[in-house]
Amino acid sequence: MGFGKATSSSKAMKIIDTEKKISVLIVEDDPLIQKIHKVMMAKFGTEVQVVANGKEVVDLYRSGASFDLILMDFEMPIMDGFEATKELRSMGVTSMIVGVTSRSQDSEIQAFMKSGLNACYVKPLNAEKVTAVLNELKNN
Amino acid sequence: MATNREALNQQLQQIVNSLKEQGILDNQFGIVHSLKEYNSPFFLAEMIPMFSQNVQTILRDLTRTLEKEPVNYYDLEEYCIKLKGCTSSIGARRMALACVTLRQAVDNKNKDGCDSALNGMRHEYQNLQSSLDIILELERRIVSHQA
């Protein structure tokens, strides 16, 4: 299941150099899922970094880091995915942010989307969903 | 040596196929298994114990939360979501479905329903764990043959 909408921030998305590897930040607190998602994204030739909660991704961006794609879990300690996405967008971050959540009710997905996500997928992450995200990224 | 490894791989695949036919695993397990090509031969052999540890911890937390009065349905929901995430990510289909049943009981604030769903989940885990133990043993033997 995937949900996507164009946000005003996505219209200002930066041009990605197609020669460079796509940089991906996985924001996920479960070490098992971190590892699965990391290897899955690496399989697609992306450069992957992992952080364990929303505050870490906000701190990374505040320190000057930037990623082409952020895969954002919802439930995390310290700062969840909703708050982290809202904060990143309020900072002017235009990176593609895709929610990857265990919550599957439409109302929950729509609520998460309102934080400023470009799209949202229900776990598990698989090749089909990754391909869709990377194609969306390359087309923008 | 190659023949032994092939035989072990076939045996592993037969077990996985059987578990998929029973609905205990789904295609996601095969996807996770295939990721060892992109990481290390030990990938699945590392993931299975991590998964088991995760599940045991969350089941313990769910049990403790249900035993307390009054029941904290918010915490129950959080643990349920967490368990659904890790079970679906490794392809443990029946366990992920059991999480949906538990979630419904939690949403309805139905303690008896939660108790029943949690028992069902423990049963599914016991079924799955015995098969995962066999898969893990086979996988370790396959990896040692490759080495």
- The 10s digit of each residue's pLDDT in B38-90 is 889 999 999 999 999 999 999 999 999 999 999 999 999 999 999 999 999 99
Give the mean model confidence (pLDDT) for residues A37-63. 97
CB contact under 8 A, B39 and A40: no
For residue A94, the distance in angstroms to the closest alpha carbon of chain B comes to 27
- The full DSSP string for chain A is -EEE---HHHHTPPPP-TTSPPEEEEE-S-HHHHHHHHHHHHHTT-EEEEESSHHHHHHHHHTT---SEEEE-S--SSS-HHHHHHHHHHTT--SEEEEEES---HHHHHHHHTTT-SEEEESPP-HHHHHHHHHHHHH-
Q: The pTM is what?
A: 0.89
- Does the structure show a pLDDT above 60 at A5? no
Does B11 lie at the interface with A, CB-CB under 8 angstroms? no
Give the mean model confidence (pLDDT) for residues A84-93. 98
CB contact under 8 A, B82 and A31: no
Residue A119 lies in a domain: yes
Give the mean model confidence (pLDDT) for residues A24-38. 97
Q: Which of B37, B35, B36, B17 has the alpha carbon at shortest distance from B27?
A: B17
Domains held by chain A: number: 1
CB contact under 8 A, B91 and A42: no
Give the mean model confidence (pLDDT) for residues B97-102. 95
Residue A66 lies in a domain: yes
Structural tokens at position A18: 């197609």
Residue A6 lies in a domain: no
Residue A36 lies in a domain: yes
CB contact under 8 A, A123 and B88: yes
- Does the structure show a pLDDT above 50 at A79? yes
Residue A12 lies in a domain: no
pLDDT value for B147: 67
Does B39 lie at the interface with A, CB-CB under 8 angstroms? yes
Domain around A57:
23-139
- Does the structure show a pLDDT above 90 at B135? yes
Contacts of B31 in chain A (CB under 8 A): 40, 124, 126-127
pLDDT value for A2: 61
pLDDT value for A11: 38
pLDDT value for A66: 97
Q: What is the pLDDT of residues A51-69, one digit of tens each?
A: 999 999 999 999 999 999 9
Residue A4 lies in a domain: no
Q: Which of A34, A37, A39, A71 to mutate to test the interface with B (most CBs of B within 10 A)?
A: A39
Residue A133 lies in a domain: yes
CATH number reported for the structural domain that contains residue A68 in this entry: 3.40.50.2300
| CB nearest A33 (choices: B27, B81, B85) | B85
Residue A88 lies in a domain: yes
Chain A's closest residue to B99, CA to CA, is A102
pLDDT band at A140 (very low <50, low <70, confident <90, very high): confident
Chain A's closest residue to B55, CA to CA, is A32
